[in-house]
Amino acid sequence: MTSAADNSPPPARRSRELPAPPARWRRYLGENGIQRWVFYIPVVFFVLFFAAPMALTVVWSVFERTQFWMEPGFTLFAYDNFFTSARAENYLYSMLHAAAAVLISFVIGFPIAVFIRRRVTRAAQHRVILLFILPFMISELVRVFAMRPVLGRHGVVNSVLMDLGILSEPITAILYSPLGVIIGDVMSFLPFMIFAGFLALEAVQNYIFEVCDDLGAGRVRLFADIVLPLAAPGIFAGSVFIFVNSMGVALVPTLLGGPGAVNAGLIANQAIVALDFPLAMAISTIMIFTLVLLLYIGHRLFDLTKILEPIS
């Protein structure tokens, strides 16, 4: 037997109820009020604290230097100082080292991205990618620092090679040298080539690979004519990331490069320590222009928005 109370609709779950705001507030809190504008907070924040400082860097780079700071004016002294000193040469060298780091990262990392995309089952692909998240998430500082006992005179590499009888005396060229900087850059940024390559390949449908296999395309042809063009946006994004960070992260030459090793980031840092703020801003400006130019060329050539297709 059921009572009348049992037939009544069940009470709504209290935890799910939200008290309605008073009528006069609804206009302000409603979807045409605050709710509409709240989505612009990140845009405002990034324009104010990221885009504006980056743009103003150009302005500050032409300010006049004072003893401890700078004052408004227009002078190209900082640029003149940069281009007519050893700094410009160091900048070009750091570009060369960064290009070598990109190339090595591509040769080591991109085949892994292709392998994961083509040979690992769809369900397991992201799990394999997670393997590379772990080293990427350990502090770059620690990873670079950890290279010292590995590459050093009495480090793991030399000890193993000497124990195996391959070397009679330790190699000293792999630490506190340009080669040490390149190794450090590759170890620091390699996972990014794998992530970006994989993300770009994720947008490529499986049937494309199957058709190539069915038509008997060889590995080289498949790689050069199919995989490379389709993954070009990802490869480019990964390459720019590695290139720019290899040039701009001062930690690597500081810890692995030894005396005299510099990159753009370190030159900017040294200028700040010397309280030469216009010079630091001039170096930052040159770096930002390099970055913007690379991204613009990349976007025109490969349409970088394609990388985001799988998550759009």
106 binds another protein, rule: CB under 8 A: no
Minimum CB distance to another protein, residue 1 (Å) = 34
308 binds another protein, rule: CB under 8 A: yes
Alpha-carbon distance 75 to 88, whole Å?
18
CB nearer to another protein: pick between 178 and 298: 298
- Per the listing, tokens 């050539």 go with 301
Minimum CB distance to another protein, residue 10 (Å) = 17
CB nearer to another protein: pick between 98 and 178: 98
What is the footprint of another protein within residues 180-239 (CB under 8 A)?
Answer: 187, 190-191, 206, 209, 213
C-alpha separations of 208 from 124, 225, 235 in Å: 20, 12, 19
**Between helices 86-119 and 264-273, what is the axis angle to 10°?**
130
Of 306, 304, 284, residue with least CA distance to 296: 304
Name which position in 25, 27, 33, 49 contacts another protein (CB under 8 A): 49
Name which position in 7, 8, 67, 121 contacts another protein (CB under 8 A): 121
Name which position in 104, 250, 258, 275 contacts another protein (CB under 8 A): 250
146 binds another protein, rule: CB under 8 A: yes
Name which position in 141, 211, 274, 297 contacts another protein (CB under 8 A): 141
CB 105 within 8 A of CB 243: no
DSSP symbols for 96-140: HHHHHHHHHHHHHHHHHHHHHHHHS-HHHHHHHHHHHHHHHHS-H
56 binds another protein, rule: CB under 8 A: yes
Judged by CB under 8 A, the stretch of 3-11, 139-147, 165-173, 228-236 that binds another protein is: 139-147
Name which position in 82, 280, 302, 306 contacts another protein (CB under 8 A): 280
Name which position in 143, 170, 171, 232 contacts another protein (CB under 8 A): 143
273 binds another protein, rule: CB under 8 A: no
261 binds another protein, rule: CB under 8 A: no
Radius of gyration of the chain (CA): 27
Of 182, 160, 165, 157, residue with least CA distance to 96: 182
Name which position in 198, 236, 241, 302 contacts another protein (CB under 8 A): 241
Alpha-carbon distance 242 to 85, whole Å?
26
Name which position in 77, 254, 258, 275 contacts another protein (CB under 8 A): 254
- Contacts of residue 52, defined as CB under 8 A and 6 or more positions apart, other chains included, come to none
- Per the listing, tokens 């009495």 go with 154
Size of the site for another protein (CB under 8 A): 95
